[in-house]
Amino acid sequence: ALGGRVAEELVYGDDEITTGASNDLQQVRNLARRMIAQWGFRARDADNGGSSILDAPVAWETPNADQEMFGGPQTASGSTEMQIDTEVKALVQEAYDVCKKTLSDNWALMEKLRDELIENETVEAAALQRLVLEHTSAKDAVAAL
């Protein structure tokens, strides 16, 4: 979901992001929140000199919390919610940074892929592999396998 939003930002700038691309951030945030609050994932190491309530893998939300009115019953304290929000923000920022670097580093490939899609509407696996090999170093191509 983040790739389309970052691509629009790189092409059009921050001021020209479409509503569809803005919705991508909501989807990424929702997934990150589930990762942290339901599945016990940590965005960063708890190497802050002390322990955190989030150190233990605990499901702080029910799987359907995002579908219930008002997010469902509160299952964590305000302090824990703040920690969850901090972790979610860190995870989303990391994903955004990796996505932006990946797209920026591979912009020539993205332009060729765009041209291929405009010309043919679809790109078959073999054509995509050819494009990737043409626009990446051998080391990067092997690492991607």
Which tokens hold the place of 102?
Answer: 């990946």
CA–chain centroid gap for 35, Å, is 12
Of 65-69, 102-106, 126-130, the one with minimum mean pLDDT is 65-69
The band of 31, judged by pLDDT with boundaries at 50, 70 and 90, is very high
Q: What is the pLDDT of residue 80?
A: 81
- Asked if residue 98 has pLDDT above 90, the reply is yes
- 8 Å CB contact between 95 and 25: no
> CA–CA separation, 123 vs 129, rounded Å?
10
| pTM beyond cutoff 0.75 | no
Please give, one letter per residue, the 3-state secondary structure of 10-65. HHHCHHHCCHHHHHHHHHHHHHHHHHHHCCCCCCCCCCCCCCCHHHCCCCCCCCCC
